[in-house]
Amino acid sequence: MGKDSGPKDIGPKDRGLAKALALGGDRRAFGDIPTVAEAVAADPARLPELVACLFDADAGVRMRAADALERVSRGDARPLDAFAERLLTDAAAIEQAEVRWHLAAVLPRLTLTEQQRGRAVALLEGWFENRASRIVQSAALQAMVDLAADDPELRPVAADMLGRAMRSRIPSLAARAKRILKPFEVDRATLDAALLPETKPLTLSVLPDRLAVARLAPGDGMPGWLDWTDPLVSATRTGEELSILCRESRVPEGVTAERGWRAFKVEGPLDFSLFGVLARIAVPLAQARVPIFAMSTYDTDYVLVRDEDVERAADALKRVCTIVAPS
């Protein structure tokens, strides 16, 4: 379907709003958009008429109809839910940029099924990737953030889009990304570090063992149950404690410990000049609400998550890293 494509005509019952929105094909003219939006908001029975105008043969009518529909959705968007399927299919197929950027604003305001939400995400990701219109890209970015505000599982997707927008060197897109960082509950310094230009791709491997972090008294010696031949073992002594990281099965009952951890290992060795490595991992996990325990060695970094969070963490991280599952 081309930019100005649409049905050759709409039914006589639809000509009222279409006539109010028609201005001789001049897309720059404002038209009677506010009046139309107010009329439809006051009488939702006219919504089918307004939605039909999205498919008018006149590109100007299509643009103004999308604008009016977006204005209607700012109030009570519930009457639009009945049109969610058509907006996600027929309306989304319209390639006209002016229709797309208004439609992007409408989608997060609708009550969508899980399947419809997935399609909306795919649609917005596609519009964000398409550089034909910067305004459509910005609108898709904003819409994804709006969707993620009510759905924590979408936060890694939105965070990834924000990062790419800020690294895009497109001033308008980067400026929009900076304005909409607020919904993301991540320390700004950490997020800034995560959004720095990537100097080296990260590969993370998932270690197979369940791990535990045990706490002993600061004056205790190394426990006899610790086996230094295990793949990942760590001991850290401070003035307050002796902390042991090891296989969960090594820690005897009765020892104070947090059990049930799994480790993501950053494949190294990492150069000491690299910066922001842990931030690039921690930010998507924070957006996905996955608690972490991080540790660093001479060669690399490890990030531990709860065993029950491994799959969710991997899904969040695969957008910014390559994940290697245990063999």
pLDDT, tens digit, 9 for 90 and up, residues 170-223? 888 888 887 776 555 555 555 665 555 555 678 999 999 999 999 999 999 999
Q: Are residues 92 and 212 in the same domain?
A: no
Q: Are residues 289 and 160 in the same domain?
A: no
| Residue-number span of the structural domain to which 309 is assigned | 203-324
Q: What is the CATH number of the domain that holds 253?
A: 3.30.2130.10
Rounded CA separation 213/190 (Å): 25
pLDDT, tens digit, 9 for 90 and up, residues 127-161? 998 878 899 999 999 999 888 878 877 877 887 78
In a domain, 198, yes or no: no
Q: What is the largest CA-CA distance in the chain?
A: 88
In a domain, 286, yes or no: yes
Q: What is the pTM of this model?
A: 0.58
Among 186, 215, 250, which residue terminates a domain?
A: 186
End-to-end CA distance of the chain: 47
Rounded CA separation 159/215 (Å): 35
Rounded CA separation 138/127 (Å): 9
Task: State how many domains the chain has.
Answer: 2
Mean pLDDT of the chain: 84
Residues in the chain: 327
Percent of the chain with pLDDT over 70: 84
Q: Are residues 172 and 274 in the same domain?
A: no
Q: Are residues 78 and 137 in the same domain?
A: yes
**Pair of tokens at residue 107:** 């989608």
**pLDDT mean over 218-236:** 93
pLDDT, tens digit, 9 for 90 and up, residues 240-268? 999 999 999 999 999 999 999 999 999 87
Q: Are residues 105 and 159 in the same domain?
A: yes
Percent of the chain with pLDDT over 90: 51
In a domain, 193, yes or no: no
User: How much is the pLDDT for 11?
Assistant: 34
In a domain, 1, yes or no: no
In a domain, 93, yes or no: yes
Q: Are residues 115 and 239 in the same domain?
A: no
Q: Are residues 155 and 248 in the same domain?
A: no
Q: Are residues 127 and 17 in the same domain?
A: yes
**Pair of tokens at residue 106:** 């409408």
Q: Is the pLDDT of residue 5 over 80?
A: no
**pLDDT mean over 54-68:** 92
Rounded CA separation 312/294 (Å): 17
**Pair of tokens at residue 310:** 């491994």
User: How much is the pLDDT for 113?
Assistant: 92
User: Strands, E, within the chain: which ranges?
Assistant: 203-206, 211-216, 234-237, 242-247, 257-266, 293-296, 301-306, 322-324
In a domain, 42, yes or no: yes
Q: Are residues 237 and 180 in the same domain?
A: no
In a domain, 192, yes or no: no
Rounded CA separation 315/285 (Å): 10
Q: Are residues 164 and 277 in the same domain?
A: no
Q: Are residues 119 and 208 in the same domain?
A: no
Q: What is the CATH number of the domain that holds 42?
A: 1.25.10.10
252 and 259 in contact (C-beta within 8 Å)? no
Q: Is the pLDDT of residue 31 over 70?
A: no
Rounded CA separation 154/151 (Å): 6
User: How much is the pLDDT for 191?
Assistant: 61
209 and 232 in contact (C-beta within 8 Å)? yes
More confident residue, 179 or 30: 179
Q: What burial class does residue 130 get, using C-beta atoms within 10 Å of its C-beta: 0-12 exposed, 13-18 middle, 19+ buried? A: middle
Give the other-Cβ count within 10 Å of 172's Cβ.
13
Using pLDDT thresholds of 50, 70 and 90, give the confidence band for residue 13. very low
Peptide bond into 44 cis (omega under 30): no
In a domain, 3, yes or no: no
Q: Are residues 125 and 238 in the same domain?
A: no
Q: What burial class does residue 241 get, using C-beta atoms within 10 Å of its C-beta: 0-12 exposed, 13-18 middle, 19+ buried? A: middle
Using pLDDT thresholds of 50, 70 and 90, give the confidence band for residue 8. very low
Of 83-92, 226-235, 277-286, 303-312, the poorest mean pLDDT is in 277-286
